[in-house]
A = this chain, B = another copy of it.
Amino acid sequence: MGTTQLESVPEPKYWQLRTALTEALDSEFSVGEILPNERDLAARFGVARATLRQALEQLELEGRLQRRRGVGTTVAPPRVGVAVGAEQHTWPGAADDAWLPTDCVLAPPPAAVADLLETGRDEPVHTVRRSRTTHLQPVATELLYVPRRSVPALPAIDTPSGTARARAVLRELQRLPLDGQDQSVELGSAGAEDARELDRLPGAPVLLVTTRFCTAGRTAAVSMATYRADTCRLTFGAFGGVEIHHDPQRHAS
């Protein structure tokens, strides 16, 4: 019966190859090792180059392989658990914050953010740019949108932009009572600027995390963060990171 089912829904060739490659990675290669070139790999497994590339892309999505310009394809280390969940209920910039502010400008946000903030579409808001690193590697970039009404006591003139301005906005934000926050996670591709900061090519898969901070029934700030999907596992919850490796070949039977 198993055979009949297998025949009626044949697995695509790249998927079979992916499975064979996974086994080879487990048994023959160690983390950081450079894979043989595509021609040799295709010859070894008796497949076309296009099929090989598809299988390599799968393994990149799964975080098993890294492709880097000028280096080649290497065996990736396990993904790093990055705490994202908002259990602490603190504002961005609180004492234990993992983010580093790098810039701040006053500019109209994207229309969707303006709608969330209930600011007019042309109304400039404080836009704090921050970055996050883990083990000296850039893992995420963020744009934090703060409407002027959320930081009314912000000094107006002395530092109009830059890191000092970013710190001032974050400091003022702490004065507000934080009622709560919600988040969403979705798949995206890195824009040119984010890609540069994250040391990826434009269009690389990323995990997009949107966080909305609420005070007095209104949105006080919106964070839009871009995490590297190849190296990050986003963790939520009080118990800390779940250290577990997904295997898409798993079966219940």
A residues contacting B by CB (< 8 A) are 9, 11-12, 14-15, 18, 54, 57-58, 61-63, 79, 81, 84-86, 103, 105, 107, 110, 112-113, 116, 127, 129, 143, 180-194, 196, 201-203, 205, 207-208, 210-212, 214, 222, 224, 226, 229-230, 232-253
Contact = CB atoms under 8 A, between A and B. Distances in A.
Given A129-B252, A208-B246, A248-B189, A14 B203 contact: yes
B252 A143 contact: yes
A188 B59 CA distance: 9
Contacts of A9: 192, 196
A76 B247 CA distance: 29
A239 B179 CA distance: 11
B239 A212 contact: yes
A203 B107 contact: no
B107 A252 contact: yes
B212 A182 contact: no
Contacts of A207: 185-187
A63 B192 contact: no
Contact of A11 (B12, B84, B192, B232): B192
- The residue among A57, A180, A244 with the most chain B CB atoms within 10 A of its own CB is A244
A162 to B, nearest CB: 12
Nearest to A249: B191
Contacts of A63: 186-188
Given A196-B9, A250-B143, A186 B234 contact: yes
